[in-house]
Amino acid sequence: MRLGDFKVLTFDCYGTLIDWESGIIEALKPLCTRLHKPPARDAILTAHARHESAQQEQTPSMRYRDLLAIVHKRLAEEWGVPVPWEECVAYGRSIGDWPAFADSAPALAYLKKFYKLVILSNVDNESFALSNKRLAVDFDAVYTAQDIGSYKPSPRNFGYMLDKLKTLRVKRSQILHTAESLFHDHAPANKMRLASCWIHRRHAEQGFGATIKPHKRPKFDFRFTSMAEMVAAHRAEGG
């Protein structure tokens, strides 16, 4: 199997193209600085993943920025720190401040020459629009949790994407789903019989960071540690 076998790259955004872990840590600083002994970075991310995943199951149609406000409230309660609701809302609106990985924009600009580029993300449309400015590319389609009414890893999200891609005359066999999260993306991609590419951003770190550990390790067809490495592999195939 070669990267050149595909015509469409469907992307997760946060954790793959946008450095959401750095964004989360930075946006939680006002809360964490009130703690007598703030948790380590990975402990913060693990707690965030636990509350986020639980809230996504409870309120699948809630906009992501509003859901993040509740996650902030749950973290504050867990850590015993009273916070005003306005601070929770501000955290939910911090998505637009989350940085892109340095290689994301140039990699997308290169890949756009060879593929249709599509987003499948657990986000709301307004927040993604802010992140898209950092990615500096026009995606051929954008499918968000707000559009679908559920969050990955629900198969509904992938089913919605596949149905809509049919209207763009895209076949399942032409799609390579490209993502960091084994839990949110690669496990459901396996169930939907989609080829997948793991952008293993956390290759030098322990644990799963801001994502949930999957029950079992899903399969993937390609693995790269960055978008730049994926581009290099494509060039090595002959571009």
* Residues forming the active site: 12
10: nearest Cα among 167, 186, 130: 186
56: nearest Cα among 184, 209, 177: 184
Residues 6+ away with beta carbon under 8 Å from 182? 198, 208, 211, 214, 217, 218
Taking the C-alpha atoms of residue 150 and residue 62, their distance in angstroms, rounded to an integer, is 8
Q: Is the peptide bond before 153 cis (omega within 30 degrees of 0)?
A: yes
Compute how many other C-beta atoms are within 10 angstroms of the C-beta atom of residue 32: 15
Kindly state the tokens that stand for 184. Answer: 């949110």
Residues 6+ away with beta carbon under 8 Å from 183? 153, 208, 211, 212, 213, 214
Q: Give the orientation angle of helix 104-111 with respect to helix 125-135, to 10 degrees.
A: 90
198 touches 227 (CB < 8 A): no
Write out the H or E segment, with its range, that includes residue 117. strand 116-121
Kindly state the tokens that stand for 151. Answer: 């969050």
